[in-house]
Amino acid sequence: MLTDRVRILVLCGLTCTLVACTGGEPAPPGRQATAPTATDPAPGAAGAGDPYYPADGNGGYDALGYEVTVRYEPGTNRLHGDTVLNARATKDLSRFNLDLRGFEVESVRVNDRPAEFRREGEFELVISPQRALAEAETFRVRVRYGGTPQSAGEGQLGANGWQRTGSGGALVLGQPHSAAYWYPVNETPRDKATFRLEATVPQGWTAVSIGREAGSETADGWTTTTWAESTPVASYLTTLAIGRFTLDRRTLADGTPVLDAYAAGAEPQRELGRRTGEIIEFLAGRFGPYPQRAAGGIYLDEPIGFSLETQGRPVYAEWADLETVVHELAHQWYGNSVSVRSWSDICLNECLASYAQWLWLEAKEGANLDARFRRIVEQTRNDGEFWSPKLHEMGAGNEFDGVYDKGPLAIHALRRQIGEESFARVLREWAAEHRDGNASWPEFERFVAGISGQDLDEFFANWFRGTGIPRPEHLLPGTLSG
């Protein structure tokens, strides 16, 4: 994510068979498949375990894939949804939760059988299947729902969730929350899953999302477009943008499809969109092969407070510039492919994506990064507000303080501390080792120490958990002291 405020700182089928739902061998001909038995069922947790957001996400199952079908009428701001979740139980389950903000839930089915459900708290949808689910059993949940999507209040970096656009369309975007504003979901980055969307809007409007465009047809005054993301995605990195878009299509050199969507008024951003391939090629030279199956961007003519790295196809605010595009595309490695385990680990996303902007300036414009670093240090040496935010263990609600300005300084200092060879290895090998998974900041510290062969405990404590300017020996390591 890159903000305006800190711009530089900036599958089970409908019939449950033994093979589909348990992963075993098919039942012999003429024999009925038997569902596994839960011997000690208990409710799944109503939270995924992130200490900063304890109610986010849910426990007891692993989401495997979402199949989301929505029909939206911009004139009335009404949405009807039909979402299928394919999941695997991680314990014997008597009931489990999904996250859904607003809407009237019309029905819930588990393995094609009606299930009991109720709403609890702000966004919990509690589901009790007819039969308890056994540990390791794969199962299918179908939720039908509808109503007026909830508008979110101001989040840390701007309005999160469902938003109406100036053109009369709609947009759902946000971090750490957004998915539950339009489909039932296990809303935690810890539970990544594949994603498929079939979105229907009135003819003349276009629904754009992440992943590959898998087809579009118009009939009876409505246009339905299908998007498919087969790479596991954290739910906040999904999106739906409905507008009167102009679409540009092409491919990268390796055949990866690129789709750029320009809202009315955002056509001047086409020059930025055309540089996507160049930027991805540059970043791949530093971070390794591009980890997504699609590329492009959604360019808005909206004064939202941030751009966001939605998977493969970031969403850009009206103020987005070239460095913003570099930043959001860097997230396709750091944040999207390698996702945080908890929100306290956000420096893995934002500090590294912000430093990608520095790498771009160094390579493309000949910027002297040591001189840039020393200049910023001198300008802020007595600025307690600049140095006080922690980059790890910062506390709930403070995750994005400091990561866009102090963050890239810290990463440059780390580069000079461990040297060019080790730093280049870190950028590539970390992304490769944790591809399509999750990781934590402490794991990153141990990884860097292992590659560099250095004891970096004090360095990391000063830069990433300190609340003041680092001690002199850590502030200016290597060539920075010259």
| Residue 71: CATH number of its domain | 2.60.40.1730
| Residue 475: CATH number of its domain | 1.10.390.10
Q: What is the pLDDT of residue 291?
A: 98
Does the pTM surpass 0.85? The reply is yes
In a domain, residue 179? The reply is yes
In a domain, residue 82? The reply is yes
Q: What is the pLDDT of residue 159?
A: 56
In a domain, residue 132? The reply is yes
In a domain, residue 15? The reply is no
Q: What is the pLDDT of residue 214?
A: 96
Say if residue 178 is in the same domain as residue 81. yes
Residue-wise DSSP of 330-382: HTTTBTTTEEESSGGGTHHHHHHHHHHHHHHHHHHH---HHHHHHHHHHHHTT
Distance CA 405, CA 106 (A): 47
Q: Which domain holds residue 310?
A: 2-10+44-336
Look-up: residue for tokens 């909206």? Answer: 302
Domain boundary among 283, 306, 336: 336
In a domain, residue 200? The reply is yes
Distance CA 130, CA 116 (A): 8
Say if residue 384 is in the same domain as residue 259. no
**Structural domain count of the chain:** 2
Say if residue 345 is in the same domain as residue 394. yes
Say if residue 324 is in the same domain as residue 344. no
pLDDT tens per residue across span 333-359: 999 999 999 999 999 999 999 999 999
- Cβ–Cβ < 8 Å for 225, 207: yes
Say if residue 468 is in the same domain as residue 369. yes
In a domain, residue 26? The reply is no
Domain boundary among 336, 362, 382: 336
Say if residue 160 is in the same domain as residue 243. yes
In a domain, residue 16? The reply is no
Say if residue 282 is in the same domain as residue 359. no
Domain boundary among 290, 314, 336: 336
Say if residue 91 is in the same domain as residue 173. yes
Look-up: residue for tokens 């010259």? Answer: 482
Say if residue 272 is in the same domain as residue 147. yes
CA distances from 17 to 12, 35, 61, 258, 366 (A): 8, 8, 19, 39, 61
Say if residue 382 is in the same domain as residue 315. no
Say if residue 119 is in the same domain as residue 265. yes
pLDDT tens per residue across span 124-173: 999 999 999 999 999 999 999 999 999 876 554 455 789 999 889 999 99
Say if residue 298 is in the same domain as residue 442. no
In a domain, residue 35? The reply is no
Residue-wise DSSP of 258-305: EEEEE-TT-GGGHHHHTTHHHHHHHHHHHH-S---S-EEEEE-----S
Mean pLDDT per segment of 10 residues, for the chain of length 482 residues?
Answer: 50 32 39 70 94 94 98 97 98 97 97 97 96 97 97 60 91 92 97 98 98 97 98 97 96 96 94 97 98 98 91 96 98 98 97 98 98 97 96 94 97 98 98 97 98 98 97 94 80
- Of 4, 63, 308, which is closest to residue 163 (Cα–Cα)? 308
Q: Which amino acid is at 343?
A: W
Distance CA 155, CA 4 (A): 14
